[in-house]
């Protein structure tokens, strides 16, 4: 059986950053297991710019951003295996994987970093009526076809869902000569970043139809058109509001789901809100020595924040194996962080005043569009942070910074609450 200090599962932006950070923190033997034929994950097909502004203070494309980390990985002489599928992880951190060269093999790890990313919500989960004709793609599949394989999915498209990949593909298809008829969103607000709505839709005159959904797909062999309808507050179509669009392609951009089948098999506690693991401030799960970061933990809006979070996970994994003090070996108490009144969830879910650094960033998303409001943080019943926000939307990640000195001032602290307040 092979033995490594740390096994990182996933060679995307999170896995690369975690491995590099762990090595620089003192971990000796690290291996990255990646199921694809090359490192970089989703970044390889994200050929648009906008990456790296926070991390490298310059604007990069997705492949350029990935290349920076791959270079650092090779400089640190960190081992990696491509075309390798992880089948199982046991609570005592035995990783079972397989590839064509070695067949099935096992690795005994001292710590495991989960960085498997996320997958798109498929058509089957959306309950769209109609036949199953050719021409229905997820936005990510279409992105891969156009950017990496050199194929055009179609010439006239309608996009269902206003997630970031869908918005970016609206622009990409237009630049390649296709006609994007509309982007249709079930909710009364967009699921993507504001900058993507401006740069990908407004700049190209592509209509965004909020509170609408696809109610029928026309065509048997190939998509011939779709019917959309307005939806009410109960998200049910309103009879009489139907509109027909002729098109040969329907792209689905209806949300991302963290890839946590391995995590569940391992016994990791999963959040019902994010579908990702529940972690403490060290990004450690309830399973001792197992850490999670990136989109497997919760879906991020910027890859720079993925890298930042993953670097922290790698550091803590290295500290864990060097000190042997994880969640179970630490004496520090864990204070739960509750998300209420407009805040959907927080990462981390618990924080230890004794273990944390001088400050810690708590990331969260809101449940609706809020204008001219405040983000408030309560320690027990006392409000300690009250920050005005002109606008907050579910598509954009929010954050508050908790300082160690703030928590130290409350020796009897039993709960931290994050909420949205009007005043």
pLDDT in tens, 218-247: 998 999 999 999 999 988 999 999 999 999
Please state the separation of Cα 340 from the chain's center in Å. 21
222 C-beta neighbours (distance < 10 Å), count: 12
Please state the separation of Cα 275 from the chain's center in Å. 11
Asked if residue 291 and residue 208 are part of one domain, the reply reads: no
Instruction: Give the number of domains in the chain.
Output: 3
- Residue 418 preceded by cis peptide, ω within 30: no
Asked if residue 198 and residue 158 are part of one domain, the reply reads: yes
Q: Rounded to 10 degrees, what is the CA torsion of 63, 68, 72, 78?
A: -10
Query: How far is the CA of 104 from the CAs of 30, 60, 84, 265, in angstroms?
Result: 19, 38, 10, 18
Quote the percentage of the chain above a pLDDT of 90. Answer: 73
Domain end, chosen from 254, 269, 290, is at 254
Question: pLDDT value at position 328?
Answer: 44
On the question of pLDDT at 330 being above 80, the answer is no
Q: What is the pTM of this model?
A: 0.90
Asked if residue 358 and residue 239 are part of one domain, the reply reads: no
On the question of pLDDT at 324 being above 80, the answer is no
Q: Rounded to 10 degrees, what is the CA torsion of 178, 154, 169, 60?
A: -80
Q: Which two tokens stand for residue 190?
A: 């967009």
Residue 125's pLDDT band, with cuts at 50, 70 and 90, is low
Contacts of 323 by beta carbon, 8 Å cutoff, 6+ apart: none
On the question of pLDDT at 293 being above 60, the answer is yes
Asked if residue 129 and residue 100 are part of one domain, the reply reads: no
Question: pLDDT value at position 326?
Answer: 53
Q: Distance between CA atoms of 344 and 386, rounded to whole angstroms?
A: 18
End-to-end CA separation in angstroms for the chain: 59
Domain end, chosen from 202, 227, 254, is at 254
Question: pLDDT value at position 276?
Answer: 93
Question: pLDDT value at position 395?
Answer: 84
Query: How far is the CA of 203 from the CAs of 88, 144, 171, 199, 364, in angstroms?
Result: 46, 23, 9, 5, 30
Contacts of 380 by beta carbon, 8 Å cutoff, 6+ apart: 410, 412, 413, 414, 415
Alpha-helix residue ranges (DSSP H) falling in 25-138 = 62-75
What are φ and ψ of residue 31, in 5° steps?
-130, 140
Asked if residue 275 and residue 237 are part of one domain, the reply reads: no
Q: At what angle do helices 13-24 and 303-323 cross, to 10 degrees?
A: 40
Asked if residue 126 and residue 107 are part of one domain, the reply reads: no
Q: Distance between CA atoms of 340 and 296, rounded to whole angstroms?
A: 23
Asked if residue 231 and residue 128 are part of one domain, the reply reads: yes
Asked if residue 379 and residue 322 are part of one domain, the reply reads: no
- Do 234 and 142 touch, CB atoms closer than 8 A? no
What are φ and ψ of residue 178, in 5° steps?
-80, 160
Asked if residue 222 and residue 145 are part of one domain, the reply reads: yes
Question: What 3-state class would DSSP assign to 142?
Answer: helix
Q: Distance between CA atoms of 175 and 156, rounded to whole angstroms?
A: 13
Residue in 180, 199, 173, 183 with CA at minimum distance from that of residue 253: 183
* Mean pLDDT computed over 347-360: 89
Query: How far is the CA of 316 from the CAs of 113, 283, 291, 322, 414, in angstroms?
Result: 10, 8, 8, 10, 24
Handedness of CA 389, 394, 397, 402 (dihedral sign): positive
CATH of the domain at 191: 3.50.50.60
Domain end, chosen from 330, 357, 377, is at 330
Residue in 220, 141, 369 with CA at minimum distance from that of residue 159: 141
Q: At what angle do helices 62-75 and 13-24 cross, to 10 degrees?
A: 30
Question: pLDDT value at position 131?
Answer: 79
Asked if residue 371 and residue 313 are part of one domain, the reply reads: no
Asked if residue 238 and residue 338 are part of one domain, the reply reads: no
Residue in 32, 34, 38, 39 with CA at minimum distance from that of residue 5: 32
Asked if residue 385 and residue 277 are part of one domain, the reply reads: no
Domain limits at 79? 1-119+256-330
Residue 323's pLDDT band, with cuts at 50, 70 and 90, is confident
What are φ and ψ of residue 407, in 5° steps?
-70, -35
């Amino acid at each position: 059986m092979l033995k490594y200090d740390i096994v990182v599962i996933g060679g995307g932006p999170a896995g690369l950053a975690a491995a590099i950070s762990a090595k620089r923190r003192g971990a000796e033997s690290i291996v990255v297991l990646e199921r694809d034929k090359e490192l970089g994950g989703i970044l390889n097909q994200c050929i648009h710019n906008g990456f790296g502004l926070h991390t490298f203070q310059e604007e990069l494309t997705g492949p350029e951003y990935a290349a920076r980390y791959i270079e650092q990985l090779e400089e640190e002489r960190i081992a990696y295996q491509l075309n390798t599928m992880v089948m199982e992880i046991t609570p005592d951190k035995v990783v079972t994987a397989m590839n064509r060269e070695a067949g099935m093999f096992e690795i005994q790890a001292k710590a495991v970093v989960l960085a498997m990313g996320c997958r798109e919500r498929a058509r089957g989960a959306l309950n769209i009526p109609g036949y199953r004709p050719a021409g229905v793609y997820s936005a990510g599949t279409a992105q891969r076809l156009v950017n990496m394989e050199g194929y055009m999915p179609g010439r006239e498209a309608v996009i269902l869902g206003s997630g970031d990949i869908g918005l970016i593909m609206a622009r990409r298809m237009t630049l390649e000569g296709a006609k994007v008829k509309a982007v249709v969103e079930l909710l009364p607000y967009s699921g993507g970043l504001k900058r993507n709505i401006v740069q990908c839709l407004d700049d190209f005159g592509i209509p965004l139809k909020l509170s609408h959904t696809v109610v029928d797909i026309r065509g048997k062999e190939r998509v011939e058109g779709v019917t959309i309808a307005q939806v009410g507050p109960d998200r049910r179509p309103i009879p009489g509001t139907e509109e027909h669009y002729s098109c040969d392609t329907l792209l689905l951009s209806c949300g991302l789901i963290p890839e946590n089948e391995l995590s569940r098999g391992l016994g990791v506690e999963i959040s019902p809100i994010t579908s990702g693991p529940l972690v403490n401030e060290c990004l450690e799960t309830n399973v001792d020595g197992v850490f999670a970061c990136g989109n497997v933990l919760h879906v991020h809006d910027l890859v720079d924040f993925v890298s930042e979070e993953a670097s922290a996970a790698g550091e803590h994994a290295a500290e864990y194996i060097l000190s042997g003090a994880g969640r179970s070996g630490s004496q520090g108490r864990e204070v739960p962080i509750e998300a209420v009144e407009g805040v959907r969830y927080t990462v981390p879910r618990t924080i230890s005043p004794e273990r944390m650094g001088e400050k810690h960033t708590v990331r969260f998303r809101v449940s609706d569009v809020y204008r001219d409001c405040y983000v408030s943080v309560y320690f027990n019943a006392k409000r300690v942070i009250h920050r005005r926000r002109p606008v907050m939307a579910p598509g954009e990640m929010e954050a508050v910074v908790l300082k160690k000195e703030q928590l130290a001032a409350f020796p009897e602290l039993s709960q931290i609450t994050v909420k949205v307040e009007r005043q």
